[in-house]
Amino acid sequence: MSVMRVSEAATSPAPPAPPRVREQARAAFVVMAFSAGVSIATTAALLVATGLGR
């Protein structure tokens, strides 16, 4: 059985805090912006491909 001293318990590292709402919102915005950029690039590539096919 291990016994933990009070001084060891006070200096033990705390578990990491969950991300804040602002950080989650920023991450969601980055994902949506990336998705929009990929969609626009795909649409432009398809329009160019169909234009060259005529």
- Mean pLDDT along residues 31-54: 95
Reported confidence tier of residue 10, pLDDT bands at 50, 70, 90: low
- Going from N- to C-terminal start, the domains of the chain cover 20-54
The pTM of this model reads 0.61
19-33: pLDDT as tens digits: 799 999 999 999 999
pLDDT above 90: residue 3: no
Helix or strand (DSSP H, E) at 37: helix 21-52
Q: How far is the C-alpha of 14 from the C-alpha of 2, rounded, in Å?
A: 20
What is the percent of the chain where pLDDT is above 70?
78
| CA angle at 35 for the pair 29 and 37, rounded to the nearest 5° | 100
Whether the CA torsion 44, 47, 50, 54 is positive or negative: it is negative
- Rounded to the nearest integer, the mean pLDDT of the chain is 86
